[in-house]
Amino acid sequence: MPQGLGIVLDFAVALGVAFGAGMVALRLRQPVIVGYLLAGVLVGPHALGLVHDPNQVNVLAELGVALLMFAVGVNNSLEEIRQVQMVAVLGGVLQVLATIGLGLAVGPYLGLDIPRSIFLGSVLALSSTMVVMRILQSRGEAYSLPGRVTLGILVVQDLSVVPMMVILPTLAVPSGNPWGDLALAGVKAAVFLLVTVFLGTRLVPALLFRVAATHSRELFLLAVLGLCLGAAIGTFLFGLSLAFGAFVAGLLVSESDLRHQILAEVVPLRDVFATLFFVSMGMLLNPVFVLEHLETLAIVVLLAVLGKGVISTLITMAFRYAGRIAVSVGVALAQMGEFSFVLAGLGLQRQLIPLELYDLIIAMPRVTMLFTPSLIAATPGIYRALARAPRLGGVLGEDAEPPAAEPVTRLTNHVVICGYGDVGEALAATLRTRNFKYFVIEYDPYIVRRLREEGVPTAYGDAGNIHVLAQANLPQARVLAVTMFDSITAELAVRNALAINPRLDVIARARTAYARETLVAAGAEEVVEPPFEAALEIIRHTLHRFGVSSQETQYLVNHLREERYRGRASTAL
């Protein structure tokens, strides 16, 4: 084989097997990420050994991590991050400290002394930003409120690796100046952020605009990749993570007019290299070690899932987020991340942990990655089960109110808007122009506070909760508009609202055809499916360009809409 061709062969084998395993996973109605991880186990050195050098594939996979976090940063705006900064910063710090405390509590039962228990807690505290955001993106939930809260806490977790790498070695050799090292790491992080913000607000926008003006896709792609990888390498040289640098770079260009073109160029590369990341994680999982230490591994993994899940849920609820949001965040964070490998290597190098504990720590994140997609997919069911529990139902179902607001005058003949996202806000703006009255139900406490300051009648809480719906004076309402992203909450909102007022006219938004059928069965008078409505507008525009009359076009669109929304498959599309 020609020199240097080995990595190309490994790359091809990894992608080929990932494709096959992904197809099998879809056939079995499992997330494709599970297929990618199992594909890695299959071709790795502990199974068939088809990939000669897993480390080379892992290097390429780091590119996928950077591209994913860059895309996440581009899709999030600085304003959206500011809205969750309290729960992200304070909640993230509390989550890390509480999980370390959990490690201290259970470490003795695993035969660990205090320093090793602290080390175990630190490893458990870190979740995988790459895995969680990839799953949420595939489900279309990365930029929902639970997704943004989860992302904020994940970023804080990634940043916490820096003080951990400074402090943890002192547990083995308590000497030197750890606080001075920690202060130096903090200064480095601050300098990096200042330099990045300066370049990102002054130099980068002008540079990207000039490159875009050349109308060369190749140059534009090179400029975007250079920005992403340059920021990632910059954070690495400053002792931070590649993912954090790429995420910051993405945030800085998120306000640019070029953000959509940037995403269009990056997303295909992101998906290819992100697939390699999951395959590489599977390659390094040793099934023999898992079977030999199954009992111990099961205990620690269960600790990570239940312990972190409960801690993250309670902390999120402490910041006045609804129970459903808190459970979603808790489930998403209930696994271990790739930074556990970094800490494990450091602990072994400094003789803080024995080889047996090192092997255990290396196996734990990969095992949790295997069932994380299914766990996140089961979040609605987990929430429903917890909400039905006699003692937990009251805690999760009753949402804490934001600071007290002025009493709202009881409305009549009004519209009740469930969810103040893009759709709900657009509806409210239209109603204001016609002087129609409306009432908003929203589970983001910061949006609620802003609406109340603007004098908008608003209730804080989960619109699926009948007690929250009761605040909207539904017996006197004319229309209920359910605009939330979550289909489970939307269904509950429709059913509970009609239980209060069976004559209420309900219009709802559905993300998929299945969700539409569910909402119709719940009693919604009309259900709008945004992807299908977009298809109708494209059809309308295209036919107009071919000279088809407005009347004929409208007839065809109405026919297609009637077929679709009455549940009959349309052959015209």
Give the CATH number, domain containing residue 423: 3.40.50.720
Question: Is residue 351 domain-shared with residue 317, that is, in the same domain?
Answer: yes
Mean pLDDT across the stretch 319-326?
A: 81
Rounded to the nearest angstrom, the gap between the alpha carbon of residue 312 and the centroid of all alpha carbons in its chain is 14
Query: For position 399, what pLDDT does the model report?
Result: 45
Q: Are residues 456 and 358 in the same domain?
A: no
pLDDT of res. 504: 93
Is residue 379 domain-shared with residue 484, that is, in the same domain? Answer: no
Give yes or no for residue 573 having a pLDDT over 60: no
Last residue in a domain, options 509, 528, 547 = 528
Q: Look at residue 94 in the predicted model and tell me its pLDDT.
A: 92
Are 339 and 426 in the same domain? no
Q: Please report where in the chains the tokens 């250079």 appear, as a residue.
A: 226
- In this structure, are residues 244 and 252 in contact, taking their beta carbons and an 8 Å threshold? no
Tell whether 375 and 513 lie within a shared domain.
no
Tell me which long-range contacts 507-512 makes (C-beta under 8 A, separation of at least 24).
Answer: 507/479, 507/480, 507/481, 507/482, 508/481, 508/482, 508/483, 509/423, 509/482, 509/483, 509/484, 511/140, 511/485, 511/487, 512/487
Cβ neighbours of 528 (radius 10 Å): 18
The answer to whether position 562 is within a domain reads no
Same domain, yes or no: 358 and 430? no
pLDDT digits 0-9 by tens, 258-285: 777 787 777 777 778 778 777 877 787 7
Q: Is residue 542 part of a domain?
A: no
| Residue 480 bridge partners (DSSP) | 416, 506
How far apart are the C-alpha atoms of 504 and 269, rounded to whole Å?
Answer: 48
- Give the pLDDT of residue 438: 94
Whether 418 shows a pLDDT value over 90: the answer reads yes
Q: Are 486 and 357 part of one and the same domain? A: no
Greatest mean pLDDT among 251-260, 265-274, 387-396, 461-470 lies in 461-470
- Could you tell me which residue, 192 or 157, shows the higher pLDDT? 157
pLDDT the model gives residue 440? 94
pLDDT at 237 (0 to 100): 75
pLDDT at res. 513? 76
Domain boundary among 394, 428, 444: 394
Collapsed DSSP state (helix, strand, coil) of residue 401: coil
pLDDT at 37 over 60: yes
Q: What is the mean pLDDT of the chain?
A: 79
Domains in the chain, number: 2
pLDDT of 567 > 60? The answer is no
Paired residues of 439 in beta bridges: 416
Q: Residue 439 pLDDT more than 90?
A: yes
Which residues have C-beta within 8 Å of that of residue 83, sequence separation ≥ 6? 148, 444, 446, 447
Q: How far is CA 203 from CA 195, 200, 209, 216, 260, in A?
A: 11, 6, 10, 20, 19
pLDDT tens-digit map of 509-537: 887 777 888 888 889 988 888 878 888 88
Does residue 421 contact residue 408 with C-beta atoms inside 8 Å? no
pLDDT-derived band at 74 (thresholds 50, 70, 90) equals confident
Give the SS3 label for residue 303. Answer: helix
- Tell whether 340 is covered by a domain: yes
Same-domain pairing of 111 and 252:
yes
- Stretch among 2-11, 38-47, 63-72, 425-434 having the lowest mean pLDDT: 2-11
Q: In 303-420, where does DSSP find H-type helix? A: 308-318, 323-333, 339-349, 355-377, 379-388, 392-397
Instruction: Please give the radius of gyration of the chain, using alpha carbons only, rounded to the nearest integer.
Output: 26
Q: For Cα atoms 328, 481, 554, give the angle at the middle one, nearest 5 degrees.
A: 120
pLDDT confidence of residue 480 = 95
- Do residues 46 and 158 share a domain? yes
Average pLDDT over residues 208-236: 82
- What is the CATH number for 55? 1.20.1530.20
Q: Is the pLDDT of residue 415 over 90?
A: yes
pLDDT at residue number 405: 42
89 lies in which domain range?
5-394
Q: Which of 180-194, 311-325, 346-360 has the highest mean pLDDT?
A: 311-325
Return the pLDDT at 400: 43
Any domain includes 118: yes
Q: Are residues 340 and 425 in the same domain?
A: no
Task: Let me know if residue 559 belongs to a domain.
Answer: no
Q: What is the pTM of this model?
A: 0.65
Whether 24 maps to a domain, the answer reads yes
pLDDT > 50? residue 404: no
Please check the confidence at residue 507 and state whether its pLDDT lies above 90. yes
* CA–CA distance, 225 with 249 (Å, rounded to integer): 11
Residue with tokens 């002087």: 435
Same structural domain for residues 325 and 472? no
74 within a domain of the structure (yes/no): yes
Q: Which tokens go with 35? A: 């297929």
Query: Which tops the pLDDT comparison, 396 or 133?
Result: 133
Percentage, residues of the chain above pLDDT 90: 9
Tell me what pLDDT residue 174 has: 54
User: At 49, is the secondary structure helix, strand, or coil?
Assistant: coil
Straight-line distance from the first to the last Cα atom of the chain, in angstroms, rounded to the nearest whole number: 50
Q: Which of 118-127, 173-182, 351-360 has the lowest mean pLDDT?
A: 173-182
Predicted pLDDT at 137:
74
pLDDT band at 570 (very low <50, low <70, confident <90, very high): very low
Asked if the structure places residue 142 within a domain, the reply is yes
Q: What pLDDT is attached to residue 450?
A: 87
Residue 421 and residue 293 share a domain: no
497 pLDDT tier (thresholds 50, 70, 90): very high
